[in-house]
Structure 1
Amino acid sequence: MEQLANLFDAINRVIGRGIRWLALVMLLIQFGIVVGRYVFGVNSIAVQESVLYLHATLFMLGAGYTLLLDRHVRVDIFYSKLGPRARRRIDLFGHFAFLIPSMLVLLYWSWPSVRNAWAIFEGPISVGGIKGVFLLKTLIPAFCVLLILQSLSGILRLLRPEADQ
């Protein structure tokens, strides 16, 4: 079970370390857009949309990595005051009752839209935009799968006998 958890962690670690550079690329493109528009009077819908695509990719594919590093938002009213056993129970409950079911529901309900987008190679959001909405929509199931894998890794680690310590 440890090897499986390590595999799921490795998948999200590789993806997270790769896509974190998108934040810098996104910043540079946005800076270029502002300079181009206000200094040179040029504009491109496709370049503007590229920031949207990069932003979506960064957050959708980075969610599993964020969960791996335990950097997700947590409403921590009582959790920090609890012992390891109670924290483990809360985390297991969260994975089984909320995270995995919500990702499965999102995966189920988004799949027809993703499938249809690929069937017609859905085009740009705006006239003159990037001709790849089908790629943008593919981030939704990728997001779900990466979060489910990381959740399963977390569950496997929480179920270890030494997890209470």
Structure 2
Amino acid sequence: MKFLLKLASAIDALTERIGKAAIWLVLVVVLISAGNALMRYTINYSSNALLEIQWYLFGAIFFSCAGYALLHNAHVRIDLIAGRFSRRTQTWIDIFGLVFFLLPMAIVVLVLSWPVFMQAYMTGEMSNSAGGLIVWPARLLVPAGFFLLILQAISELIKRAGFLKGLCPDPIDLDKPSAEEELVAAIKARKDEAQEGGVR
């Protein structure tokens, strides 16, 4: 079990790195979108390639961050019933959901999307739009994203099993503040510091 917990920790570290890297893609998408709009309205120039690269990058953000969302418990949870149970019971519910819903779905999508990517790669499929991009990188995002999601789901299973055996803390720390709450606290702390500096 210790080896499995180390494996889960390594998967978590990989997912964290990929998620933090994907944050920069948001900035890239904004810059491309703004640049494309600026060119369209100032010099009357537009490019299908620039439009498509935005879609590719949106896809990269979505697929690369699916595992990151799972790691940080940022996906939607409807706890009308499960929220009334103990943490151990909720952990068993999570394990059931991971084993019988998330993992089978992700594996099926991975298996079915791989041949689509391979066909696009082997044929050099291009966009139907004039001046568009080659298609296979976008097709690769689907199996790659679901592979990362499968890895993170395995990590979550290991951590939940470890929690049930008393070998690691609860993987879902309900008392831990959300990213939004941390941001609000950081802004408030900065504001308080600025006010104290002004008083001096």
TM-score normalized by the length of structure 1? 0.93
DSSP-derived class of the 2:65 partner: helix
Shift of 1:117: 1.1
- The alignment of Structure 1 onto Structure 2 pairs a total of residues equal to 164
Q: Which runs of 4+ in 1 moved over 4 A?
A: none
* Residue 97 (structure 1) aligns with: 100
Q: Kindly tell me: are residues 120 and 152 of structure 1, through their superposed partners in 2, closer, same or farther at Cα, counting changes over 3 Å?
A: same
Aligned-partner Cα distance in 1 for 2:29–2:91 = 37
Q: Kindly tell me: are residues 125 and 22 of structure 1, through their superposed partners in 2, closer, same or farther at Cα, counting changes over 3 Å?
A: farther
Aligned-partner Cα distance in 2 for 1:164–1:30 = 43
* Residue 116 (structure 2) aligns with: 113
Listed as ranges, the matches of 1:12-161 within 5 Å are 12-131=15-134, 133-160=135-162, 161=165
TM-score normalized by the length of structure 2? 0.77
8 Å Cα contact 1:8-1:150 kept in structure 2? yes
Shift of 1:109: 1.4
Aligned-partner Cα distance in 2 for 1:27–1:152 = 33
8 Å Cα contact 1:33-1:47 kept in structure 2? yes
Aligned-partner Cα distance in 1 for 2:101–2:50 = 37
DSSP-derived class of the 1:20 partner: helix
1:144 corresponds to which letter in structure 2? F
Give % identity: 35
* Residue 5 (structure 2) aligns with: 2
User: Does 1 or 2 have the higher relative contact order (CA < 8 Å, sep 6+)?
Assistant: 1
Aligned-partner Cα distance in 2 for 1:118–1:71 = 33
Aligned-partner Cα distance in 2 for 1:164–1:86 = 15
Aligned-partner Cα distance in 2 for 1:113–1:23 = 26
DSSP-derived class of the 1:130 partner: coil
Shift of 1:125: 4.2
8 Å Cα contact 1:16-1:65 kept in structure 2? yes
Aligned-partner Cα distance in 1 for 2:116–2:60 = 18
The structure with more radius of gyration: 2
Shift of 1:68: 0.8
DSSP-derived class of the 1:159 partner: helix
Structure 2: give runs of 5+ residues left out of the alignment: 171-200
Give the RMSD, CA atoms, in angstroms. Answer: 1.5
Shift of 1:153: 0.3
8 Å Cα contact 1:88-1:164 kept in structure 2? no
Structure 1: give runs of 5+ residues left out of the alignment: none
